[in-house]
Structure 1
Amino acid sequence: MENDGASCSGAVESKAGFVLGNVAEVVEKILTFVPTKSVFRSARVCRLWRNCARRVLRTRQKMSWISASGSSRYEEHILLRNMEEALENVFLLPQTVLLMMDNENFTGHHSSFRHKKAKRCQSEDEVDVMDRLRRLLPGNCEILCVITPGIVLSPSPTACLIPQEFMEGEAGFSLLFPAMEGVHIRPFHFCKKSLSDSALEKAGLAGNPDLKVVLLFGYDAYKTGAARFLNQLLEPLGRNNVLIAGGHVERVFPQKRDCCSPGSFGVVGLTLSGPKIQGASVLLDQDVSMPAAAEVTIRRLKAANIPESNTVGFMFACVARGHNHYNGQHNVEADTFHKLFPGVPLFGFFGNGEIGCDRIVKENYTLSQTDANGLQHGYTTVMSLVHLG
C-alpha cells in the first residue's frame, strides 16, 4: 500500500509538471495572481514561462500606489522604509513614479534627518533619497520626489480608500504609473537656465495636441524673478485646452538636477498626454470655510461625468487651510471628496501656494479658459480628477 501511495503521488507530480511545462493557458492564469517582481523571477524558468510572463505584464496597465504614515524608527522617511517591502507585492512595472513626503525629516536650510546627531547639507539629503529610490525602483523608471509641509493620501489599495489629511507627523505616498496604452507620461524640470521653447516642446508642454493634464510644482518661489519665470510657463499653457493643477512646495528631488545653480528657483512636474485621458478641477476659494460649502464646490466635479475607474484625485491646498480653516474640524475636504467619489483615491499636499482653476469639461470637451494670473492662488484648494483611460 505504501508503494502504491508513492506511485500515485509521483504520477500526480508528473502530470502537474507536464501541465506547467506545456500548457500556456494554465501558466498564464497562475501568473495573473503573482506580484510583478515574482513574475520576473518566474520568467527565468523556461521559454514558455517567459512568454506567459510577458503577456501578463502587458495587461497590468492600471496605476497603483504605496502610502505610509506614522513615525519611522529609522533614519530615513517612513515612506522609503515601507516601499522596500511594498514593492515586492505590487502588480505593475513602474515606468514613472511621483512621490510626495512631508518635510518632517527635511527641516531648515541645512536639512537633516531628525534621528541623526550631525546635521547634513541639503545636497547630501537629496543624494541619499534619490540613490535609495534608484535602488528600489527599476533602472529605467522616471522619478520625481516632492517635499511639502503637509500630505494628503489614501491608504494602500488593499485597505479602505478613505483619504487622510496630514498636517503634522510623517506621511507620504508614491504613485506608480506603468506603461499604459494611449497614455504618455513625461516628467519635466525647468530652472531659469533651462527654460526655452525647444525644452518646452521636448517635455510635451508645447506643440503637443494630445496634452490633457499638467501637474506642476514650483520650488523656491519666494526668490526674486521666480514669479516672472513661472508666468513664462503658465501663460502659453493657460491658453490651451489643458488641465493644470499643482502648487508651490518646499523642495524637489528631480532625477537630474545638474542644470541648476545652488539655490535656484524652478518647476518640476508631469505631462499626461493621450486620447484616453480626461481631467477636470474646481477651486475652493478662501471664502469656502464650512463643510457644506466645500461639498457644494467639490460636487461640481460630478458635472464632468469622468469615469471613476482607473481615476485618481488630486488635492493641492494651502498650508493655512485644513482644520485651521474649518474651525478645528479635521479632514473636511478629503472626507467630502470621498463622500462624492468613494471609489477614487485622493493624493496631494498642503503647500505654499496653489496652481489651478475651475475647469469643468463641457459636452465637446472644452475646458474653461483662463490666464496665467488666474492660475495662481493663496489660501485655496485645487481639487482635481484625472482619468487614465
Structure 2
Amino acid sequence: MASGDHKESSDDFHAFFHHLTNTMHLTENILKYLNAMELNRCSRVCAFWAKIVKKLKSKRKTRSWTCFSLSAGDEDFTSITQGTQQFLQEQYTEPDVVFMICESDLLLEKITIPALTRSGRACRGTQSYQDFVRSLLPQSCSLFGIESGGVVGTTTNCRQSIEAENDSRGVSFLCLPKYDGVDIKISDDISENDSDAKLQQYINSLSEPGNPDFKVILNLIADFQTPRKYGFDLMKAVPGALVAGAYVEGVFTRNCDSYPLIQLAAIGGDRVQIASAIINETIDDAAGAEECIKKLKSHSLPEENSFAFMFACLGRGEGLYDEPNVESSIFRRYFPSTPLIGLFGNGEIGFELVNKGSYAQNDEKQKSSKTLYHSYTTVLVLVSIT
C-alpha cells in the first residue's frame, strides 16, 4: 500500500472514531445491542461513552430466569457450567438481585473451568460451583442463595417448569433489575455468633419510618433451632405483609467467608402486588393441587412482569404423585408467562392471603402457629410488578 493510501485510510479511521465518540445518537444506537457486561467494558473507553452506557442501563428493566439439571448418576457438569456462564455473562439487564436455588451436592461440587492468564494463554482452574457463580456476578449485584434438597425452576422460554428431586442435581436462577418504585431489602449475614441480635435488628429495620410498604418477606432458615417466634415478629413488624419461606439445607450470599443461618428478603413498594396459596397436606392428587392454583389465579394479578416462588415439602413431588413435575406443570398451565423458582425443604412457612394482601381482618387466626408453619405442604407466592 502506498504511503498516501495509508495516510488516507488512517485519516478516515480517525474521522470515523471522532464522529463515533461525539455523536450521541449514533453511538447509543450501536451500543444498545450490547449486553450488560459488554456495556460495562465500553463505559471504560471514555467519559462520553460512560454517560451513554449509564443512560442505556437505566432504561433496561427486564427480569430473566433459567434452570439447569442433571439426572441422578450423571457426573458430567459441562452443560451446567457452560449454561450458567452463558446465562450470567449475557444478561441484557444488569441484575440488582439474583435469587439462586441450588441442590446441595451441586453447590459444593468442584468443577474445572477454563480461564485466561494475563498473557492470554488458556489454563484450567478448579473451584466450587458456588464460587464459580459468585465470580460471574456484577460487583453491585446482591445474591440471595439457597441450598436445598430439591430445586424448582423454569426454562428461559417459560415453556416448562421442572422439579429436580430424588438425587437429581439442579439449579435455578431468577435475576431482577433495579425497579423504580420497588425496594428489595436483604438481610445482612446472620451468622451463628450474632444471629439473635442481627435478626432482631433486621426485623426492627422493616418498621422504620420512610420504609416502603413491604408486601412479602421471604424467610429461609438453615438453623432448625431458630425460634418460631421470629416469624411472628416479622408479621408484627410489617402487619400487612406475607411471610413465606422454608427450612432449608443452607443459605449463602456474595460473601464467600460467611456462613449465615438465616436469609431474609423483604419486597415492597407501591408497584408491588402479591398473592399466595397453599397446597395443604391433605391434597395428594393433581385435581386437588389444581384447585389451589386456581385460587392463586383468582387474585387476577397482572402477569406481564411477574415471578413466583414455590416452597414445597420433600415429602411431596414425585414421591406423592407418582409422576414428576405435577404442581409446577399445573402452575405453568395457569401462569404461562410467569417464571417459577423454588425448592423442596424440611418445613414450609406461609399463609394464604385474604383481601389481596392483608390479613388485618384475621389477626387472631394468623397468630396461631398452625397457620404460619407447615409440613407436607406447598406454599406458592406470586409477585407482580405493575
Residue 47 of structure 1, CA deviation: 3.6
1:283-326 Cα distance to aligned partner (Å, 9 max, x none): 11012222122111111112222111221011111111112222
SS of the counterpart of 1:143?
strand
CA distance in 1, matches of 2:102, 2:232: 25
CA contact (8 A) 2:213 2:270 kept: yes
CA contact (8 A) 1:153 1:163 kept: yes
SS of the counterpart of 1:325?
helix
CA contact (8 A) 1:205 1:271 kept: no
SS of the counterpart of 1:241?
coil
SS of the counterpart of 1:195?
helix
Give the aligned partner of residue 371 of structure 1. 367
CA contact (8 A) 2:61 2:179 kept: yes
Structure 2 residues without counterparts, runs of 5 or longer? 1-5, 113-126
CA contact (8 A) 2:147 2:251 kept: yes
Give the aligned partner of residue 382 of structure 1. 379
Residue 104 of structure 1, CA deviation: 3.0
CA contact (8 A) 2:63 2:176 kept: yes
Q: Structure 1 residues 255, 39: closer, same or farther in 2, change over 3 A?
A: closer
Q: Percent identity over the alignment?
A: 27
CA distance in 2, matches of 1:206, 1:250: 31
Of the candidates 155, 158, 161, which is equivalent to residue 159 of structure 2?
A: 161
CA distance in 2, matches of 1:88, 1:49: 21
Give the aligned partner of residue 332 of structure 2. 338
CA contact (8 A) 2:153 2:342 kept: yes
Give the aligned partner of residue 319 of structure 1. 314
What amino acid is the match of 1:315? M
1:22-67 Cα distance to aligned partner (Å, 9 max, x none): 3322322332321101111222334432221111100122322342
Q: Which residues of 2 match residues 1-389 of structure 1 at below 5 A?
A: 20-70=20-70, 71=74, 73-74=76-77, 82-105=83-106, 113=109, 128=128, 131-156=131-156, 159-168=157-166, 169-188=168-187, 189-190=189-190, 193-196=194-197, 199-201=201-203, 203-204=205-206, 208=211, 210-221=213-224, 225-226=225-226, 229-237=227-235, 240-255=239-254, 266-326=261-321, 328-362=322-356, 366-367=358-359, 369=362, 370-371=366-367, 373=369, 374-389=371-386
CA distance in 1, matches of 2:207, 2:175: 22
1:141-200 Cα distance to aligned partner (Å, 9 max, x none): 3223211111100012xx343211111311102222222211111221545733348612
Q: Structure 1 residues 198, 292: closer, same or farther in 2, change over 3 A?
A: closer
Q: Structure 1 residues 143, 355: closer, same or farther in 2, change over 3 A?
A: same
CA contact (8 A) 1:216 1:247 kept: yes
SS of the counterpart of 2:298?
helix
CA distance in 1, matches of 2:256, 2:38: 33
CA distance in 2, matches of 1:64, 1:235: 32
CA contact (8 A) 2:153 2:173 kept: no
Q: Structure 1 residues 349, 21: closer, same or farther in 2, change over 3 A?
A: same
CA distance in 1, matches of 2:317, 2:351: 19
CA distance in 2, matches of 1:289, 1:353: 17
What amino acid is the match of 2:352? D
TM-score by length of 2: 0.80
RMSD: 3.4
Residue 12 of structure 1, CA deviation: 9.5
Residue 258 of structure 1, CA deviation: 7.6
CA distance in 1, matches of 2:335, 2:60: 23
What amino acid is the match of 1:371? K
CA distance in 1, matches of 2:191, 2:43: 42
Structure 1 residues without counterparts, runs of 5 or longer? 1-5, 107-111, 117-126
Residue 14 of structure 1, CA deviation: 8.4
CA contact (8 A) 1:78 1:170 kept: no
Q: Structure 1 residues 257, 237: closer, same or farther in 2, change over 3 A?
A: farther
Moved more, 160-169 or 195-204: 195-204
Residue 356 of structure 1, CA deviation: 0.7
CA distance in 1, matches of 2:82, 2:351: 35
Residue 20 of structure 1, CA deviation: 3.1
What amino acid is the match of 2:39? V
CA distance in 1, matches of 2:64, 2:293: 24
CA distance in 2, matches of 1:80, 1:271: 30
SS of the counterpart of 2:196?
coil
Moved more, 77-86 or 46-55: 77-86
TM-score by length of 1: 0.79
1:114-149 Cα distance to aligned partner (Å, 9 max, x none): 899xxxxxxxxxx95664344221223322321111
Moved more, 246-255 or 232-241: 232-241
Q: Structure 1 residues 254, 45: closer, same or farther in 2, change over 3 A?
A: closer
In the alignment of these two chains, the number of paired residues is 354
